[in-house]
Amino acid sequence: MMYDIRQDDCVRFLRSLDDESVDVIVTDPAYSGMNQHMQFGHGRIVGRYRDNRGDGRWFSEFHDDPESYRVFLAECHRVLRDRRHIYIMFDSFSLLSLGAVVREVFDVKNVLVWDKVNLGMGHYFRRRHEHVLFATKGHRKLSRRDLPDVWAIKRLTRAPYPTQKPVALFERMLAGSSEPGFTVCDPFVGSGSAAIAALRSGCGFVGADIASRAVEMARMRCATFAAHGIDPLEPAGDGGLPG
């Protein structure tokens, strides 16, 4: 299948796409709210988000105040075909501040939970989950009836790209929402996990990231997968369903 990965800002990228030209949107935005909660005292980004080779940051965050977020969602709505699905990932804090904005634009059907199985960081309760909002444009059922709303999929440790998500997570999104030949879109492509899920599901893919390192990684990853059927960034990924 075809894939197209561009280096661009999410809104500029979406504006370059025709009306009703993609079939599923699956995306994992870089929320600035999330990183604010990860700063310790001096406004530093710490841990694996820090890149000592460059300007100290792996990537800049999307400005996710409600106004910018409305513009982003309006573009998602315009490019998505009618009677189609969208999945948007949220950490708990961005879900509180921006989740309601999604309901202004799309018909939200589920707040899904990604159970990462292993404990993460956290000053109080240790974080083990994220959310995925599942919504529709127009009416469309899921093509399967056996999909639960909690997804236990182990988080990746020591992945090559910071914030790299398991391909299985995006495969779960596509399981009831894609058909072979559909075009899947991710405007925050990162290392291209959603692209690999799309290709594995027999779909085409179009996506973008503002960071050149992400785009290089995602393109290399898709080229290797297309040539050899191997995902070089997550060779053991199996995408097991459901549960």
Which residues of the chain form contacts with ligand SAM (CB under 6 A)?
9-10, 28, 30, 59-62, 161, 163-165, 187-188, 190-191, 193, 208-211, 214
Closest separation in Å from C-beta 21 to ligand SAM = 18
Q: Which residue's Cβ lies closest to ligand SAM?
A: 190
What distance in Å separates the CA atoms of residue 132 and residue 28, rounded to the nearest whole number?
9
Residues 6+ apart with CB under 8 A from 206: 3, 4, 5, 17, 22, 183, 184, 185
230 is written with which tokens? 């191997």
Asked whether 62 and 121 are in contact (CB, 8 A), the reply is no
Closest to ligand SAM by CB, 89 or 147: 89
- Tally Cβ neighbours within 10 Å of residue 104: 12
Closest separation in Å from C-beta 107 to ligand SAM = 24
Closest separation in Å from C-beta 83 to ligand SAM = 25
Closest to ligand SAM by CB, 134 or 161: 161
Closest to ligand SAM by CB, 13 or 182: 13
Asked whether 24 and 182 are in contact (CB, 8 A), the reply is yes
Closest to ligand SAM by CB, 160 or 181: 160
Closest separation in Å from C-beta 193 to ligand SAM = 3
Closest to ligand SAM by CB, 32 or 110: 32
> What is residue 11's three-state secondary structure?
helix
Angle between helices 92-105 and 66-79 (to 10 degrees): 50
